[in-house]
Amino acid sequence: MNLKEKHKKLIKKEAYRLGFDYVGVSKAEFLEEDAPRLEKYLKNNLHGKMSYMENHFDKRLDPRLLVDDAKTVISFLINYFPEKKQNKNSPKIAKYAYGQDYHLVIRQKLNELLEFINVEIGEVSGRGFVDSAPILDKAWAKKSGLGWVGKNGNLIHKKSGSFFFIAELILDLELPSDGPVTDHCGTCTACIDECPTEAIIEPMVVDGSKCISYFTIELKEAIPKSAQGKFDNWMFGCDICQDVCPWNRHSKPHNEPLFNPHPDLLSMTQKDWDEINQETFSKLFSKSAVKRTKLSGLKRNISFLKNIK
């Protein structure tokens, strides 16, 4: 085993110790295959009013513009599939938002890993990313062999499904790459067939402006009447295209205590949500990604659900 292989093995071992479930490595280079896809996506306005996606086009496609002299992109998956789920009769939030804000939890792990690399390997310049900078995380995870991009646009791992957060560490340290894996969606169209807003307009192309997650999180104005009756009781995000995916039959509960929900969240009833106030909202979501929509946004979504029943 040469030195670069030893470094990769050492980094992966520490990443697993820190709680990451899967780790893959790829060469930091321009994402040539993804450039025309991203350009077409933006040109067709499939990002709706998420104007931030129009920014930093070049940086999204080339990690060397994010980290000087970048040589390697390490991609990480960390499971968030919950052991217990919400009351079936209450408005629903996406499973990724059950626990503490994943940005903060994962960023801490990446910082610790980067510190470990500097101590054990030597001075390495790098930067961690957790869904918060112009980087195509699914493209890099795919490139590093952590799965394939399914017809619902999510990364799917053959052994564990798609209920994962994706993160990256871009380093100026050269490491051997892990090769990509093959696509295993086959002829299945469950995600396309079951999406109530018909947001998956073709395999691997999701019209963000039609997605329930977009309406309930990203859209800051009134939800259009054209979406009435199509939300299946989702008030924050949506998991339908993942819930119906056959590969998620393999999903197992995560091992990260910080992703566990506040105990009261699982027992909240329709009446509780109808009467939610700032005190309850803060108690449930003070450290959660749900706080992004604020109480006013959540109440808007709950009201929208009530009006369409």
Per-residue pLDDT of the chain (309 residues; tens, 9 = 90+): 799 999 999 999 999 999 999 999 999 999 999 888 888 877 777 666 666 676 778 889 999 999 999 999 999 999 999 999 998 889 999 999 999 999 999 999 999 999 999 999 999 999 999 987 789 999 999 999 999 999 999 999 999 999 999 999 999 999 999 989 999 999 999 999 999 999 999 999 999 999 999 999 999 999 999 999 999 999 999 999 999 999 999 899 999 999 999 999 999 999 999 999 999 999 999 999 999 999 999 999 999 998 744
In angstroms, how far apart are the furthest CA atoms of the chain?
Answer: 64
200-202 and 205-206 beta bridge pairing? antiparallel
pTM of the predicted protein model: 0.94
Task: Write the CA distances from 95 to 61, 113, 222, 242, 252, integer angstroms.
Answer: 29, 26, 24, 10, 13
pLDDT value at position 51? 65
Contact 144, 26 (CB under 8 A): yes
pLDDT value at position 309? 44
Q: Of 62, 68, 69, 131, which residue is the catalytic one?
A: 131
The contacts of residue 306 (CB under 8 Å, 6+ apart) are: 274
Give the C-alpha separation, 269 to 116, whole Å.
45
pLDDT value at position 213? 96
Residue 239 appears among annotated catalytic residues: no
